[in-house]
Amino acid sequence: MSTQRKPTRPTLDAVAARAGVSPSTVSRVVRGSTPVSPEVEKLVRAAIAELGYVPNLAARQLVTSRSDTVGLVITEDQKNIFAQPFFAGMIEGLSAELTETPYRLVIMIARSASDRDWLEHYVRSQHVDGVMVIAPPRRDPLARVLLSAGVPVVFMGKPFAARGACFVDADNVGGAKRAVEYLYANGRRRIAAVTGFPNVRHGVDRFTGYQRGLAAVGLAEEPRLIVEADFTNEGGFAATTELIARGAPFDALFAASDLTAQGAIRALRAAKIRVPRDVAVIGFGDEPESARMRPGLTTIAQPTVRMGRELARLMVTVIQNPSVRSKVVVPTELVVRGTT
């Protein structure tokens, strides 16, 4: 009785023989490390396609101590990741930039202590060549854990407790300051703020920008005109409802995110306060829904796709040169629409 032999997997040597080059040349083409001539690369690629060769990534990692993988660590709830346009834009930019490199992207959620323990083990086991982290909240140990794990780490957003760390961020302070100055230039004199949580870095920076804007135009900061929210539509509604109930008059409102601003407008309308006639509103982020609103939301735009690309570039740079210490602050832009 005869048995059918299982087809053998094409080897790197077989590809080299078919292309008429050395195995080391095939290896260079597969790794994308040392450049080869276009003619040789074309021969090798054709042989790979003809034979159906697939590189043995596990074996290559043992030889090179590289995984050709980078991780993106997010500390948000999964429902927030898919609900917030910021993440979609950032991941779009990351993915687009990484297609030009040897690196693949792995997304990892780290919400609980057990998540962090698993993540630390995963990173220390060299499953990734570098880690990109959405800057964790104040007092979250994640940044310290990853920085001590022995792989390059870069942050999206300036981290609280990682001096000298590499990061990419929007100009949150400058953008918020410009929003206040714009409102003042348009005749508004009592400018309220619905802020973000103080344990989130961009929330702190945007509130700092609001304070600097008031100081720049000579307005005093009034605690009764400041209320905290959580960057969500519902949070903006609740915070603005509280603000109205305090009874302190205001003729403009700066919200720390577009979703917060959308909730704030709902609360103002529920109280029969007209936007922008009675109260002008500015958000932060320039999310797609902001342009579709009626009236459209005036906002501070942050280029999330560009930020994702910058983060990917910084990650690759730090992997190649771990001594690099770089901080990339991307400019924001005022987008004027109907709510002011």
Tell me the CATH number at 88: 3.40.50.2300
Q: Are residues 158 and 211 in the same domain?
A: no
Residue 338 belongs to a domain: no
Same domain, 294 and 194: yes
For residue 224, pLDDT beyond 60: yes
Residue 340 lies in a domain: no
Indicate if 116 and 178 belong to the same structural domain. no
- DSSP E strands in the chain: the ranges are 69-74, 104-109, 130-134, 153-156, 166-170, 191-195, 226-228, 252-255, 280-285, 298-301, 327-330, 333-335
Please give the pLDDT value at position 63.
47
60 within some domain:
no
Q: What is the pLDDT of residue 313?
A: 95
Q: Do the domain assignments include residue 296? A: yes
Tens-digit pLDDT profile for residues 31-61: 665 678 888 888 988 988 888 877 655 455 4
Whether residues 287 and 182 fall in one domain: yes
State pLDDT tens for residues 288-329: 899 999 999 999 999 999 999 999 999 999 998 888 888 999
Distance between CA atoms of 35 and 29, rounded to whole angstroms? 7
- Same-domain check for residues 187 and 291: yes
Please check whether residues 89 and 149 belong to one and the same domain.
Answer: yes
3-class SS of residue 198 = coil
Give the lowest-confidence range in 105-114, 195-204, 265-274, 292-301. Answer: 105-114
Confidence of residue 249 (pLDDT cuts 50, 70, 90): very high
> Which of 127, 117, 169 minimizes the C-alpha distance to 329?
169
> Which helix (H) or strand (E) element contains residue 293?
none
Q: Both 177 and 297 in a single domain?
A: yes
Is 335 part of any domain? Answer: no
- Four-CA torsion 101, 103, 106, 107, nearest 10 degrees: -40
Percent of the chain with pLDDT over 90: 55
Asked whether residue 85 is domain-assigned, the answer is yes
- Residue 210 domain flag: yes
- Say whether both 36 and 113 belong to one domain: no
What is the band of 62 on the pLDDT scale with cuts at 50, 70, 90? very low
Note if the bond before 322 is cis, omega within 30 degrees. Answer: no
CA distance 140 to 137: 6
Q: Could you tell me the pTM of the whole model? A: 0.78
What is the domain range of residue 19?
A: 12-55
pLDDT band at 122 (very low <50, low <70, confident <90, very high): confident
My answer on whether 148 and 49 are in the same domain is no
State how far the alpha carbon of 280 is from the alpha carbons of 143, 180, 187, 297, in Å.
38, 11, 10, 10
Residue 273 pLDDT greater than 90, yes or no: yes
